[in-house]
Structure 1
């Protein structure tokens, strides 16, 4: 039995900055599908079952197809994702695997051309935010709860 406590229960102020980031993302120009692809793929990489559960469900609610979620971890081997989405997923992996050097210049430059400066900044902030949430979820052993329908 784990004696870990959820951060928001112990010190609600500790979550304040994270909530502000989420509010920023909610008001951003990011499409719901772009946000959820970032959140699901990052949660897959970081092994955060809690976030993976939430964001997979959110993706479905926002119109994402089950097939694409099922193959998301192997997105490079499919033709199910648009050029924009493939670039977003490449950036997502670069940030999640930050120890490999982050987003390389050629990817960043392609993203800047395709998305423009403002959208690119919003994409990066979404990627950074879900990585932080994943680290909170994994560190405190948050668990996905079974839903009965």
Structure 2
């Protein structure tokens, strides 16, 4: 896909507001490696090559293990994720595809076993922020750099 236009040049306030949300999400208290895993997983679901590339690079810089990055789309079958990470990844999938099943009480309870209320909403903000970035990137045709 070719970039259709540079949204940040056309409407710089959009980038400014998205960066405010990104900074808020980044400083919400979610562990940095988990933060990147959430971003990668949502981007995989949405098919956003630009964001998958960016966040796998970022995860590697944080020292994330290669196999955890490679196997993220099969996290349920891979033994390399903690129960806390699994809960966050499942929430990521359900919030990203919210129109399909919503977020059940069972999933809420599973996530809350590992995250306090404030952390739960922080997870939602992180998931929503990456979904917004994905939709901007895909809609405007942003591609991963060569």
Alignment of 1:6-25 (within 5 A): 6-25=6-25
Structure 1 unaligned regions, length at least 5: none
Indicate the larger mover: 16-25 or 117-126: 16-25
Structure 2 SS opposite 1:64: coil
Determine the structure 2 residue equivalent to 1:53: 53
Determine the structure 1 residue equivalent to 2:38: 38
Structure 1 residues 3 and 50: alpha-carbon distance in aligned structure 2, compared to 1, 3 A threshold: closer
| Count of residue pairs the alignment pairs up | 146
With the length of structure 1 as denominator, give the TM-score of the two structures. Answer: 0.93
Structure 1 residues 2 and 51: alpha-carbon distance in aligned structure 2, compared to 1, 3 A threshold: closer
Indicate the larger mover: 21-30 or 52-61: 21-30
Determine the structure 2 residue equivalent to 1:136: 136
Determine the structure 1 residue equivalent to 2:63: 63
Determine the structure 1 residue equivalent to 2:123: 123
Determine the structure 2 residue equivalent to 1:87: 87
CA displacement, residues 57-76 of structure 1 (integer Å, 9 cap, x when unaligned): 00111111001111110111
Indicate the larger mover: 124-133 or 113-122: 113-122
Taking only aligned residues, the RMSD between alpha carbons, in angstroms, comes to 1.4
Determine the structure 1 residue equivalent to 2:72: 72
